[in-house]
Structures are given as structure tokens and as C-alpha cells.
């Protein structure tokens, strides 16, 4: 399955994320995106049901697995002040459908890191192949898993 970039920025390995839970792939494998510092519409990375939507993260459950998009590191502290939902929990989404409006520049102003891990959940047997390194546009292929 191909996972597309939920936002525009620079694709970076998870090992470079300044959070050991993500950097050590404890949540699962994937890629992170350092966003461009402007308001962005964050997109669904796969087709499926939006099973969780929080101000700092969301999960889309597809036919063969689930993908977590975490909007910045420690952004739960910001109490939802840097994002607005567009979609609703339980909604069926196509890959590339808008999920939330997000303000990474406000994350930076708050002194937090806006890097966004994009993670395959429940992935004990998953193998991830990186499809993007460096600059990536929202909606472009990011990685695939088997």
C-alpha cells in the first residue's frame, strides 16, 4: 500500500525525529515530514475511515492497516490552538481528502518542533519502503508498506 504525504515539507527519516518513541520506531515504521512554515491543509495519507481525530494527531484505518499522522512533537500541550478539523471522526476518506487545517508556524512560535511523523500502526510484520527523500508535496507518494 502506498502512503502519500499528508502535507508539504521535507521528508526525513524517523531516526531524526527529536522524540525517542518515534525515532526508535516504537509506535511503528514510517517517515517524518518537516513542514513548510505556513498554514497547511493536512490530507488523508491513505483511503479509509478516520478512526481518531485529535488537534495534534489523527489515524486513518485502511483495508490493510492504519496510518497515524502526528502534527508536531509535544503539540498536545497546545490544547488544539494550532489546528482546526475539516473532517469528522468516523468519516470515510479517499487518499488526499482534507482532514485538518494546521499552523506549523504557531508550533514554532510556541518553541516546539513541527516535524510530523507519518507512521504505520500495528506493524510488527510490515516492511516500509521509502519513496520520498527531501522536498515533498502534499499528496505525493511518501512510502509504501508490504
Would you name the residues annotated as active-site residues? Answer: 70
CA distances from 20 to 68, 73, 91, 117 (A): 16, 11, 31, 12
Q: What is the DSSP string of 126-141?
A: --EEE---EEE-TTSE
**Cell triple for residue 13?**
527519516
CA–CA gap between residue 25 and residue 2 (Å, rounded): 19
Cβ proximity of 73 and 17 under 8 Å: yes
CA–CA gap between residue 121 and residue 123 (Å, rounded): 5
Cβ proximity of 129 and 143 under 8 Å: yes
Nearest to 83 by CA among 118, 123, 47, 42: 42
Amino acid at each position: 500500500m502506498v502512503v502519500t504525504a499528508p502535507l508539504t515539507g521535507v521528508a526525513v527519516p524517523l531516526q531524526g525525529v527529536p522524540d525517542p518513541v518515534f525515532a526508535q520506531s516504537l509506535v511503528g515504521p514510517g517517515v517524518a515530514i518537516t513542514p513548510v512554515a505556513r498554514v497547511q491543509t493536512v490530507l488523508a495519507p491513505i483511503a479509509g475511515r478516520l478512526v481518531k481525530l485529535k488537534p495534534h494527531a489523527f489515524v486513518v484505518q485502511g483495508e490493510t492497516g492504519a496510518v497515524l499522522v502526528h502534527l508536531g512533537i509535544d503539540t498536545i500541550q497546545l490544547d488544539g490552538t494550532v489546528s482546526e478539523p475539516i473532517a469528522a471522526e468516523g468519516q470515510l476518506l479517499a487518499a488526499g481528502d482534507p482532514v485538518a487545517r494546521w499552523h506549523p508556524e504557531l508550533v514554532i512560535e510556541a518553541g516546539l518542533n513541527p516535524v510530523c511523523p507519518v507512521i504505520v500502526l500495528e506493524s510488527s510484520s510490515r516492511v516500509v519502503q521509502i519513496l520520498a527523500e527531501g522536498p515533498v508535496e502534499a499528496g505525493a507518494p511518501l512510502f509504501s508498506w508490504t
